[in-house]
Amino acid sequence: MASLKPIPITVFTGFLGAGKTSIILSLLPQLPKDYKVVLLKNEFGDVEVDSQLAKQSSLTAVSEILNGCMCCVLIGQMKTALLEIRDNFRPDRIIIECSGSAFPATLAFQIRELERETSGDLKLDAIVTVIDAENFTGYEDSSPTSKMQASYTDAILINKWEHISERQLDIVIDHLNTLNDTTPKIRCQGRNGVDPNFIFGLDTKLFSESDPRLSAIDGTHNDEVETVTVFKGPSSAKPHVHDEHCQQTHVPQGVETMKQDVEPVEESVLTAALNGLSKETVWRVKGFVKLRDGVKILNWAFGRFELTALEAGISDGAIVKLTAMGERGEIKRTIRKFAAALDAELV
């Protein structure tokens, strides 16, 4: 290992829908063509949405850890995944994209352990937090995790600021300065994201033995996000059902409620259903929808959404396969009407 350069690891955190995946993908065209990047992504639910989107990019490889958060329920899986990425691809950089509720301390501790176990072959380079400027002052009040993400980071990327006034942006920056007045705050440039030179090569001291705040860090995970799967299609394509502790459960034998209708969804119906969602209780909806002009990747966050063509299509015949994320105890009630509008159901 002594003759090889250490593999730097950049960790992206940020609340649901902040735009982490889009920013990561925007970095790739700005890197040398022979620069190899592998993305390790952690997300709620069964649906591999962002990894499918990322596979249509110039990433060397994409690995996704589903059905839980790797800073709590899935702790330990990240270390295994990082070692496999190193052994299989030997990339120039690994990017970890956390789930929206992840507190980076536990992840950073695991990476620091890997630094020691691999004699520095894997190395934490930076923790980067993405802020949704349009919605931060709203979700900051209900999400302790979003405050921690902004407090313990090497750089704060302010995304979606184009949608708000200068006065509103000043309020967001004031909030961020209250949480963390020493970390650089960088405005993303729309689809161009941010210059990689701003966030690569930072050689962070966060969560290291020399970090004077280490003993004061509370690594408790905040279980503030609940997920619901919205599905329509043949029973064979039905996602696994998971309880609130991310453990697989089983549908009783003989229960058969899946929609067999294979007609695609009308885009106008989908748009109307999305526009009817409350961003107070539903924070993110993402997954796959079969429309008349093909299968689309749906990304909805806080009232705004995008549809992106899925080049590979869906092989299992599903018409709707979405993961909705939102306020615990409220999202099922809110999302049920949305599912009904698509002639789908909650699983």
Q: What structural domains does the chain harbor?
A: 7-198 (3.40.50.300), 225-236+262-346 (3.30.1220)
Specify the pLDDT at position 52. 64
Q: Give dist(CA 147, CA 266) in Å, integer.
A: 39
Specify the pLDDT at position 56. 66
The Cα diameter of the chain in Å comes to: 60
The per-residue DSSP string of 166-217 comes to HHHHHHHHHHHHHH-SSS-EEE--GGG---HHHHSS----TTSTT-TTGGG-
- Give the tokens for residue 63: 């690995």
Q: Give dist(CA 63, CA 34) in Å, integer.
A: 20
More confident site: 270 or 209: 270
Q: Give dist(CA 295, CA 305) in Å, integer.
A: 15
Specify the pLDDT at position 100. 75
Over residues 146-184, the pLDDT tens digits come to: 888 888 899 999 999 998 999 999 999 999 999 899 999
Dihedral sign (CA 318, 255, 286, 196) = negative
pTM above 0.75, yes or no: yes
Specify the pLDDT at position 85. 93
166 burial via Cβ count (<10 Å: 0-12, 13-18, 19+): exposed
Q: Give dist(CA 317, CA 121) in Å, integer.
A: 43
Least confident of 19-33, 201-215, 311-325: 201-215
Mean predicted confidence (pLDDT) in 297-315 = 82
The average confidence (pLDDT) of the chain is 81
pLDDT at residue 95 tops 60 = yes
Share of the chain above pLDDT 90, in %: 44
Q: Give dist(CA 317, CA 262) in Å, integer.
A: 8
pLDDT at residue 280 tops 80 = yes
Mean predicted confidence (pLDDT) in 133-154 = 80
User: Which of 269, 267, 16 is closest to 135 using CA atoms?
Assistant: 16
pLDDT band per the 50, 70, 90 thresholds, residue 213: low
pLDDT band per the 50, 70, 90 thresholds, residue 140: low
pLDDT at residue 259 tops 80 = no
Specify the pLDDT at position 63. 79
Mean predicted confidence (pLDDT) in 215-226 = 58
